[in-house]
Amino acid sequence: MTIVKEGKQKKIEHLKELIQLALAVVCLLALCSISFKANAAGTVGDRAQVSKLQAGRSVAADGAGTVGTADTATITRAVWDAFTPEFTDVPKSLKATKDVTIETNAPAGVKVTYKVSKDKYAAVDDQGVLTGKQVGKVTVTGTFTAQVEGVEETKTARFSIKITGKKKVYIDPGHQSKANGGQEPVGPGSSVTKAKVAGGCTGVSTKIPEYKFALTIGKKLKKALLAQGYDVAMSRTKNDVNISNVERAKKGNKSGADICIRIHSDSIGDSSVRGVSVLYPSTSNPYPVKKQAKKSKKLAKALINEYCKATGIKKRGIVVRNDLSGTNWSTIPTVLIECGFFSNPTEDKLLNDPDMQEKMVDGMVAGIDKYFGY
């Protein structure tokens, strides 16, 4: 009996030992798991790694925030004094609506914040992403901040960047204060000639001459296009000029513009006629602009559709015209918009109303956007 008892006792003792051992193993495993999770490198039991981790923790415990982020660490006076802030690989220009990330030589522990001189032209965010808004030049200032042995220090650096247009539009406001009856060829190499600049029409109600109206719309269109990130060139910015239609086309060709919009108003003997027409060169045009016939037609369609949508002005339609010198001498897609009829008393007043002119211009911009696919 006693022997048996002793045997049971021994078994119980053995079991206790086993349980203790199992508990010890579980605790060890749990510890290893914590250490593994905390160690980003994933190497369990590496003394060097563990001590690095502890060092990281002590930085965090100083109240600096998240472990390991560059903007929170303290840097030494020697590192700060030797640091000259610079921007690396900054482009000289940036297209409107496009962006670029500004890179710097800031070492770990130095935080950079950005500012642009004119937020009309570009914007910059906290991450240094610079976005072009409209044509112009901006200066970007970077402020480099660091905690240098417990003291906040800053240094600044600047660079200039040119914002270029997403596309370029050439605007030709029709006519000028004085007509020019001198003759010029209607197209390159043609023996057929036309007046250099015709007189244009006058509003039956408002008495406003077409050349003034065309310049007013041209300037408003320019402003609206610039605000949308386009670059703009104009054949004229004053009424008192003497620029022939051929010269206007050549100026547009040289401007580097992607398209040409010619602005006019219509007139006819019948005062009941009203509405907008957009004139474009066709594939049977005998001059080099023939190459731009398809694109010109696409532009004419987009322009008239959006113009009518924005203004409610009656759509007469797009019309092939291969007899216009200002179009025939062009080498870029070219259209001429007859905004409405100055010979119709109601439409004349409407076209010269500033509120309506905003709608006309908005419609033109929408048409141009559509043509380019924006």
Site residues for Zn ion, window 184-203 (CB under 5 A)? 200
Min dist. Cβ of residue 316 to Zn ion (A): 15
Q: How far is CA 191 from CA 194, 199, 288, in A?
A: 10, 23, 16
Please name the residue ranges forming H helices in the chain: 2-38, 47-59, 77-82, 210-227, 245-254, 293-311, 325-328, 345-351, 354-372
- 124-159: b or e for each residue (b if 16 or more CB lie within 10 Å)? beeebebbbbbbbebebebebbbbbeeeebebebee
Min dist. Cβ of residue 171 to Zn ion (A): 14
Which CB sits closer to Zn ion, 209 or 367? 209
Q: Are 104 and 86 in contact (CB under 8 A)?
A: yes
Which CB sits closer to Zn ion, 201 or 224? 201
Min dist. Cβ of residue 201 to Zn ion (A): 7
Q: What angle separates helix 354-372 from helix 293-311, to the nearest 10 degrees?
A: 140
Which CB sits closer to Zn ion, 174 or 187? 174
Dist. CA 284–CA 368, nearest whole Å = 24
Which CB sits closer to Zn ion, 147 or 334? 334
Min dist. Cβ of residue 137 to Zn ion (A): 36
Which CB sits closer to Zn ion, 148 or 339? 339
Min dist. Cβ of residue 194 to Zn ion (A): 13
Residue window 157-186: x/- pattern of binding to Zn ion, with contact defined by CB under 5 A: -----------------x------------
Min dist. Cβ of residue 183 to Zn ion (A): 18
Q: Is 264 in the site for Zn ion (CB under 5 A)?
A: yes
Give me the torsion for CA of 31, 32, 37, 42, rounded to 10°. Answer: 160
Which CB sits closer to Zn ion, 174 or 340? 174
Q: How many residues bind Zn ion (CB under 5 A)?
A: 3
At residue 259, what is the residue type?
Answer: I
User: CB under 5 A: which stretch of 71-79, 137-145, 262-270, 321-329 binds Zn ion?
Assistant: 262-270
Min dist. Cβ of residue 175 to Zn ion (A): 6
Exposed/middle/buried for residue 288 (C-beta within 10 Å: 0-12, 13-18, 19+): middle
- 29-38: b or e for each residue (b if 16 or more CB lie within 10 Å)? eeeeeebeee
Tell how far CA 31 is from the center of its chain. 55
Tell how far CA 122 is from the center of its chain. 9
Residues 130, 132, 137: CA angle, nearest 5 degrees: 100
Which CB sits closer to Zn ion, 147 or 245? 245
Min dist. Cβ of residue 358 to Zn ion (A): 22
Which CB sits closer to Zn ion, 251 or 264? 264
Residues 257, 258, 264: CA angle, nearest 5 degrees: 80
User: CB under 5 A: which stretch of 11-19, 104-112, 229-237, 257-265 binds Zn ion?
Assistant: 257-265
Which CB sits closer to Zn ion, 46 or 184? 184
Residue window 270-309: x/- pattern of binding to Zn ion, with contact defined by CB under 5 A: ----------------------------------------
Positions in the binding site for Zn ion (CB under 5 A)? 174, 200, 264
